[in-house]
Amino acid sequence: MPAVQLAAKPGHLTWVEAVALPLAGLTAYRALFARAQLRAREKVLVSRIGGGVALFALQYAVAHGADVWVTSSSADKIARAVELGAKGGFDYTAEGWTGGVAAQVPGGGFDVIVDSAGGPGFEHLIDLAAPGARIVFFGATRGNPAVLPMRKVFWRNISLLGTTMGSPADWRAMTDFVALHKIVPVVSDVFPLARADEAFALMERGGQFGKIAVTM
């Protein structure tokens, strides 16, 4: 079998930015385009903004011409997401937060929802899905949902789509997309290898906004 030739580093990126791209960038690209089949002008919700994949999903969707909103427990992270092109955001820890969506989002429902948490509250994402929506997820950091309102899923023709990483073809398409739109990965912090324990501690407490890089 011939060797697979992967695309080179996009020329507009530094090496630290390029190192932040592969796994998270590929996962987000496949989730949005190969699985959810995102189209321009669709409404997108990216849950729990701040992690690398979520931020790539925001950046890619904005570059593709979609209208994007985010969720977070941090007002600062929502504000920074708006600086990257989000239309707005919602604090998912606030009581009845889904009720505020209609005031910000025309029609009150999302065409594509990107999630990596699952667990308690996943049913709220189904409530926010428009008829025919696609909910794509690549993680379950909060475990399995305790509730899955199946009647809402089938009655509104909602698709639940699992995804992981991507293929060599996805990789080539992603690097072409990143180069075309001059997308720059968000790098939260850079640590030397000797301080790698600090990098892991930052990740464990969820304090990052973007990818964490470790240099040698």
Q: Over the chain (216 residues), what is each successive 10-residue block's mean pLDDT?
A: 55 86 94 97 95 94 97 93 95 90 86 93 93 94 89 96 93 94 87 85 80 80
Distance of CA 10 to the CA centre of its chain: 21
pLDDT at 8: 64
Question: How is the chain split into domains, by residue range?
Answer: 15-215
CA 73/CA 4 separation, integer angstroms: 41
Residue 188: phi and psi, rounded to 5, are: -70, -55
Residue 144 identity:
N
pLDDT for residue 209: 80
Q: What is the pLDDT of residue 205?
A: 79
Instruction: Give me the architecture of the 15-215 domain, per CATH.
Output: Alpha-Beta Complex (3.90)
pLDDT at res. 1? 38
Alpha-helical segments (H) within 84-138:
101-104, 122-127
Report which secondary-structure segment, H or E, holds 188: strand 187-192
Could you give the CA distance from residue 144 to residue 124 in angstroms, rounded to a whole number?
A: 14
pLDDT at residue 3, as a whole number: 47
